Amino acid sequence: MQKTQKNPFNELIINIVLPTLILNKGGAYLGSGGATKALIIALAFPAVYAVYDFVRFKNKNLISILGFVSLLFTGGFGLLQLEGQWFAIKEAAFPLIIGLVVLVSAYTAKPLIGMLIYNDAIMQTDKVKDALETRGTMKEFDSHLKKSTIFFSFSFFFSALLNYILAVRIFTEIPLDLPADERSEILNQQIADMTWLGYVVILVPSMIIMGAILWHLFSGIKKYTGYSFNDVLKDAKS
């Protein structure tokens, strides 16, 4: 039976576009306390989608969980009217935590890059294992997975740095003498800017880094097994 696939366009709309539009414009149409209501509604979209995604696709990976927790912190900070450095620290902390977890996994029996890419759902692992045993390169390949995982962790450290720099620029201090509703509107605008700018500014270089890491991983597969990546890629129909 063919598994239901996620729609990346839907994810983009629900997690980025709708929250940004609601945070930018929603407060003006929601009456008294509109900014707070807009914040709650905007965060509800990705929160509900995260739960739906977990229930339907059984996503239990640490990165997804930390992303959901990060969302809860964003909402909590917004409702508590926390500003500036709180958001900057939060934006840097979560990719930093993920990077540390990935780095630690490199020194375990199951490096994370191997669990994500080198698994039965994506690759013909038995075919790879047979080739490694025939060539006597199993140890070298394990070392290659470790190096690839270490490189993978660096992508999260880089993301943490970019997140912090971007957040410091966006979450500027809001004057205390402004009315509460106006302060909330400004904070919502800052969260909206961080939502879409973070997606653009951080995703693009991160994807480039990930592409380099995957190239490194696939080149190791060819070197130690003699097979190209296409040779060991699992047939979608199987």
pTM (2 d.p.): 0.72
pLDDT reading at 37 higher than 70: yes
Residues of the chain with pLDDT > 90, as a percent, come to: 8
From the list 22, 161, 45, the residue with the least C-alpha distance to 92 is 161
From the list 92, 90, 93, 97, the residue with the least C-alpha distance to 62 is 97
Spatial neighbors of 156 by CB under 8 A, at least 6 apart, are 95, 96, 98, 99, 102
Cβ-contact 154, 208 below 8 angstroms? no
Q: What is the mean pLDDT of the chain?
A: 78
Using a 10 angstrom Cβ sphere, with 0-12 exposed, 13-18 middle and 19 or more buried, the burial of residue 200 is: exposed
* DSSP H stretches of helix in 58-119: 62-79, 85-105, 112-116
Cβ-contact 153, 103 below 8 angstroms? yes
pLDDT of residue 137: 92
Distance CA 33, CA 30 (A): 7
pLDDT of residue 140: 92
Distance CA 21, CA 193 (A): 10
Distance CA 144, CA 129 (A): 14
If you compute the radius of gyration of the chain from its CA atoms, what whole number of angstroms results? 21
Distance CA 6, CA 12 (A): 11
Q: Where are the domains of the chain?
A: 8-232
Cβ-contact 28, 34 below 8 angstroms? yes
From the list 123, 212, 131, 203, the residue with the least C-alpha distance to 162 is 203
What are 233's strand-pairing partners? 123
pLDDT reading at 66 higher than 90: no
Token digits of residue 39:
């914040």
pLDDT reading at 206 higher than 90: no
207-225 tens-digit pLDDT? 888 888 888 888 988 999 9
Distance CA 163, CA 197 (A): 10
Mean pLDDT of 53-60: 66
Give the residue with greater pLDDT, 228 vs 24.
228
What are 123's strand-pairing partners? 233
Q: For 9-50, give the DSSP string.
A: HHHHIIIIIHHHHHHHHGGGGS-TTHHHHHHHHHHHHHHHHH
